[in-house]
Amino acid sequence: MASRGRRGVPAREGEQRRDEPRREDQGEQQAPAPQGPVLPPPPPVDYGVFMQGLVQAMQTQTHTQAALQAQLEAQELADVWWSSLLRTRFEDGVVEVGWDEFVALSAACRQEGEMEQYLEEKKASQKRPAAPFQRQERKKATFQSPQHPVASGSSQVPSQHSLNGKKECPPYGRAHGGTECWKLAGKCLKCGSSEHRIKDCLRLQQGVQRETGVPVLEDGIAKGDSEREE
């Protein structure tokens, strides 16, 4: 009887061991699923567009490889030409110049020539006299500067000495004798009289008569004009 009891004990332990995995599976099944954001389904893939892009990428890679190959071939041809040129001109092999150094020296020589041409043109432009309108603009800027105030009425106007000894009137840019500006004083610019203006001056009319040969009356009207008015 004792042996049976001992034999039965291991049998129960084996059954318990078999039941343990089942309980663990049930526990895993009963565990609540983790709650989280539900991701949307992936968009459908347009395989036609995908294949078209893949073909374009392959074609671009082919063109790039062809361009690089052409560039390498051109570089090799240039190196061969440069080597042959060096062998022709410098047969003793004393002078050795690389292609990159040759390109840099050529660019430097070209820039030096352009700079020399620019300096020569600049010197020539400085030697040429200024245009008339440029001189007038300079005079106008000088007269409008605050360093040369302009007086009104019969007051004297500050003037500058010109080359011929006469004074230059700043408001008009013309040289005249004397210390008073007749135009600012309202006088005749021909004789300096304050009783009339230059258009009514007898001296001016007499000068016109001598040049044209047409007689002028005392009131300043030509004789032919007075006859037509009558």
Does the residue 78 lie in any domain? no
Which value, in Å, is the radius of gyration of the alpha carbons in the chain?
55
Range of the domain at 212: 190-230
State the CB neighbour count (10 A cutoff) for residue 205. Answer: 20
Separation CA 217–CA 227 (nearest Å):
11
State the CB neighbour count (10 A cutoff) for residue 151. Answer: 13
Instruction: Give residue 225's pLDDT band: very low, low, confident or very high (50, 70, 90).
Output: very low
Average pLDDT rounded to a whole number, residues 133-146: 58
Q: What total number of domains does the chain contain? A: 2
For position 14, what pLDDT does the model report?
54
**Type of residue found at 216:** V
Same domain for 203 and 218, yes or no, is yes
174 phi, psi to nearest 5 deg: -120, 150
For position 173, what pLDDT does the model report?
66
- For residues 125 and 119, the answer to whether their CB atoms sit within 8 Å is no
State the CB neighbour count (10 A cutoff) for residue 17. Answer: 9
Same domain for 163 and 196, yes or no, is no
For position 221, what pLDDT does the model report?
47
Does the residue 194 lie in any domain? yes
pLDDT digits (tens, 9 = 90+) for 166-176: 667 766 666 66
The DSSP 8-state label assigned to residue 196 in this structure reads S
Residue 35 pLDDT greater than 60, yes or no:
yes
Residue 67 pLDDT greater than 60, yes or no:
yes
Instruction: Give residue 197's pLDDT band: very low, low, confident or very high (50, 70, 90).
Output: confident
pLDDT digits (tens, 9 = 90+) for 153-165: 444 444 444 445 5
Does the residue 95 lie in any domain? no
pLDDT digits (tens, 9 = 90+) for 87-118: 666 555 555 666 777 778 788 888 888 888 88
